[in-house]
Structure 1
């Protein structure tokens, strides 16, 4: 259990400016309990989160920040939780550092947990709330509540009286009851996500226009409007209504998807293995269709019935003309619309509707404009083989995108079947084949024979080829920041320490491993300190966590500086202590914490208690430079993204050691 890795996180405020921790805990909780039926109760937890801090949902995917967790201490033979706690709406944003989506609250959070009693003689419920709250640093919260089922009262059990140091437990006091928390405000990142969906969908609509099923219909449709409209004003009015009809049809499709699956269900399913495998198969199916394997067609009877309705004239006839366009062009627009709905639906909320607004707006705009201004038709390029080239290119894109979903399924199960190198090899093959196709070296079904390629096609082929070559160094560990978030993270690979470094790893001292480029780090304090004494170097302790985003940022953006990398590699002995490691300690090494009275069971418990007890800080990252007698050589620092500032701090610690 993750909460067991953090049993000491009841320090409400650490006055540790060097660790960038807040003066007090950034989340305040209140709770109440209500009776639902004879043997069921509803526990409500309301949290108020300080500005710019985030608390992470129970459903946030593995590989990122630690999710919130509710457990009970005395439930055995007394009561049981009915499913997961119901959450107030959360926000969603992609974390480039971890390569996963994260679900979080920014201002307020409300949790409702239903419990069902099984022992009528028991009137006490003990709830343990664990979560991670992050801003510039990440702090774990562990709150305890007790509920009296007989009197329906709730009280928070506080184990510390002094906010800056561990102290004796104080007398529990009754928690205040509050009104249900309102839904959290949208974060700026959430707004950006919706805008990104709209922009991508809008350009996808333009891409759909340049397919053989849609482009030739522009002059055909415009000529119908020109002949049917008796006046120019009527023609403009009909054109506008036609465009709006297209938008209405596609927005209705997005609304149906939202209604069928709910505002948030697909969002929560986005890390489900089967969900991602089905989407992978669906996108491969779409890609094969675009590449010319087959065509996705709706029944001809549908088109015939709609065509007959379109002949009625008036606004009803125009509406059915728009529906006929959607049906007839489905073999080209269907895969694009399907991909958009898959991606948008996994974002949750109204994303499918927003996506369809963007797609249909781009699709409708040219029909409206050319119907208003028929003279512009002369500037349109003629239909030809280039339309199929666009369609095939979309097929290659669909195929590449499909592996994002397969990769996510593999990451969730940690199967290591689609590690970073294999993913990149597939992308190199797909984009390389696309480049060869654009250069005319590959011919697919429905292609028109050409004696030469256009300049535009050549330039596009060169761009795709350049991107393909850019991917190749990733096979040897290059970060590939342009596609951050698409391939598996660097550590999820066959050679996490870098290609050709297995022999180096094998020759490392016991307890050490390679991190970054070629920096050696110990994960055991005693072994690292003993090695430092042996080689005569100072120690740098790195209090870190597997789910610590700012720890990864420091490693990727600060430690990668050549000057800092050189010091970490050659001038200090690095000891990285993971405070969220869940590996259980041997029974003989488990003990009761003097600070909280709770049992230290995991490796993470052990290192976190060490951090709090010795350095009075709960936030990660925390960096400490010490000598062989374990004395600090300078003030510890936390998250320090300024390379020069961190470099000077590191040099200062090493210099003081060398003077001793």
Structure 2
């Protein structure tokens, strides 16, 4: 039965105008209001988030926004217009649906803590100093029997505008980290507008963590992990003398060691805010990762054999306690060895976690990832005694190991590519492809796999050579976005002329940036839609350089790729900011939003 609208309206009216009048003076005390910001200071030309928090007295509630019925008074926050400030759309919390005696149907309401968020963008010409955002928090407090008169509480939100030389740090990550990426990005892109955020928004945390677990399983296909498989089997083979339950327990400790490594990565990524980007701009880190991959490749080529460290092998033959410590240590080693391959695959995860600034989010995401990576090792460890009885794989497996070795050399080249001039990299790819192709296809003497195996070797060799040749063949010029290198003079000129601007913050080491260039920015519809904009690329390859830091702080960029749209008034279109990879169709929607169409 539908709610009787007239009866409900009469009920509220009588309760409001009758004996409830005696309680009107206490209505404001039923909702205590405070405000918080996503940053400690703001810079001219940047964006940030504001949260208005209402604490509703226990036993009372306020109507949701939007309300169930149009004549009910919604809870809302209205901000007063300010020069040089642009306020984005209010983001209201999810409502609770409750049943009341005076209604035949359930109503959408808020109880307890009510958090209303909204993005703010400040003009680039605003002078440093203390500013105040003023607004009105409107609500009507009710309990199960009565409703008080609507209340308008005046709210003042102090902010401090600082010069670009002063740092601006993310704060209140517990409120902004898991809900909006803007708290440290300075934009208004909700996490729902990133690939990972969209998954969380649409599917919830359970399915998101399940997807991360599957990603962890897939990481076992990366070449960095492969050299550790025989090490794992060899380690647990020595433990297989005992009961299966004991070996299973050691395998779980092995998994715990892997989990410790990646959980720490997640926590550090959250605390630092930009772990992957800030590390990969350091040439020494790039070279270090490449050397690890070369070392793993040499082991696959048979130059030497990777074994567990001596102190772990000594523990293996000890008592149960030593075995536990050895298994835990082995898991730590596997986690560290696999990390170079895991990083590029999980860059989106690292960027998300770094942007939230929430250590718990980082911990649980990377703990789940490590479970996916480590579960196969639990099976390997538990059934290692049975694996020893399997027949040897034959020479074809030796050839596969060499194939993985060349793949690792390719990854090593990928990491050090930013250190070489752009024109040199294709020739390095060609050289590696020719060597690997000729060796795998013709020079390698491993045989015994039959005719099919020999054909596979030659096909692999030809494919490698073809990849190298295509790497040095100039791409056929076609339609493209007319990107220009960022120049403050060009930026100021376009803003003065009222021309919209698109800023692409990119880096040589950024994999999603390359995907954007290859798939999104090459799309004809995207090229046509972006044509009205002055398209500027901002190179953040050297992320912490003195040249890059002011731009990152001015536009609130902590990770790449980040795309910022500036409208004809010279203000950022907050709802259109993009962080991470977007396909052509999704990116077109952001462009149209920026143009107001």
Greater helix share, structure number: 2
TM-score (norm 1): 0.43
